[in-house]
Amino acid sequence: MKTYSRLVLFALFARFISGTSAAQDLPAAADLISNYKLHERSIKVVEPHQTSKSRYSYVEYAAVPMDELLFRMFGNEWQSADSQIVFFAKDGYRSAISSAKLTKYRAYLAFARSDTQAFTVDNIEHDQKGIELGPYYLIWANLGVEELITHGAYDWPYQVTRIELQRKNSQDKLRPQNTSEATRIGMLDTEKYCLNCHSIRGIGGQKYPLDLIEASCRWQENALKEWIEAPSVIKPGTVMPALNRMLASEEREQAITHIVNYLSALKNEQPSPCANK
């Protein structure tokens, strides 16, 4: 390994163990492949943005292996049990994915379609067509993997411009003052389904500017459940999607209940975050 490469890895490791993040802005695809000595692959997937329970959509993408790229960027530290990889998109969307998931399943960073068609996707949940995916789109080799398919489009960020290696220390800020097993599950479901676009106490995405605790102060519990269940019914044209419709009905209902209970626990803390809202 060249001396400068060792120095880069050492610097990244020093920042990582100190609790700070190591970030990499992504260059153009040709430079990414050349600089990191990657091999392009053609990966066929069940495209979750265009898939429903009754109709599967298949697309083949040109991509590079995510594990190889992460190793070139961050060395072995990305596989640490207390690490997560955070993908940042142009519009403020943020997807934090644990090293455990990236180790368990095969993920790829796509930069084009293999069939030379436009690098776009139709998002049936948003009723939007021709959404640009570039410069990069995180995809998963989900053919025949039921767990990945039922997770829907979560953890499939597109328009990715930046990747960070972080330590998983955010949950301290997300825990309510009084934590029960129910609120713990709700916290995990909120992280999984809500904090890509929303944020709580500075943790999460930046698509929606208002802190999710403050936003939930405006809702009674039953109304909030209805909103998460079907936002477009309550507000036609909203960009907020319904919570993952690929889940079984009972599992989906439980997740919504967990999220609402967790947000209620945060709202009921003292001093009240909802005062004067």
- Structure confidence at residue 169 (pLDDT): 63
Choose between 20 and 136: higher pLDDT.
136
CATH architecture of 171-267: Sandwich (2.60)
Average pLDDT over residues 234-262: 90
Average pLDDT over residues 164-185: 82
Domain boundaries, the chain: 3-167, 171-267
Q: Which of 38, 98, 95, 94 is nearest to 66 (CA)?
A: 38
Instruction: Write the DSSP symbol of residue 217.
Output: T
Q: Is the pLDDT assigned to residue 120 strictly greater than 50?
A: yes
Q: How confident is the model at residue 8 (pLDDT cuts 50, 70, 90)?
A: very low
User: For residues 178 and 267, is the Cβ–Cβ distance under 8 A?
Assistant: no
Q: Is the dihedral of CA 48, 49, 50, 54 positive or negative?
A: positive
Alpha carbon dihedral 31, 37, 43, 47, in 10-degree steps, equals -50
140/45 Cα distance (integer angstroms): 7
Q: Which of 224, 207, 232 is nearest to 262 (CA)?
A: 224
- Structure confidence at residue 277 (pLDDT): 58
Most confident of 66-75, 160-169, 242-251: 66-75
User: For residues 61 and 42, is the Cβ–Cβ distance under 8 A?
Assistant: yes
The two counts, helices (H) then strands (E), for the chain are 11, 12
- β-strand partners of 214: none
User: For residues 196 and 94, is the Cβ–Cβ distance under 8 A?
Assistant: yes
Choose between 220 and 9: higher pLDDT.
220
12/105 Cα distance (integer angstroms): 25
51/38 Cα distance (integer angstroms): 30
Instruction: Write the DSSP symbol of residue 216.
Output: H
Give the tokens for residue 52: 């429903």
How does pLDDT run across 65-117, given as a tens digit for each residue?
999 999 999 999 999 988 999 999 998 889 999 999 999 999 999 999 999 89
Q: Is the pLDDT assigned to residue 7 strictly greater than 70?
A: no
How does pLDDT run across 46-68, given as a tens digit for each residue?
999 999 989 999 999 999 999 99
249/247 Cα distance (integer angstroms): 6
User: For residues 241 and 128, is the Cβ–Cβ distance under 8 A?
Assistant: no
Residue ranges of the alpha helices (H) in 217-276? 221-229, 231-234, 249-267
- Structure confidence at residue 32 (pLDDT): 97
Give the tokens for residue 29: 């695809």
C-beta contacts of 31-36 below 8 A and 24+ residues apart: 32/64, 32/69, 32/109, 32/111, 33/64, 36/64, 36/68, 36/69, 36/72, 36/73
How does pLDDT run across 136-151, given as a tens digit for each residue?
999 999 999 999 999 9
Question: Can you give the pTM of this predicted structure?
Answer: 0.81
- Chain-wide mean pLDDT for the chain? 87
- The number of C-alpha atoms within 13 Å of 29 and in the hemisphere containing its C-beta is 19
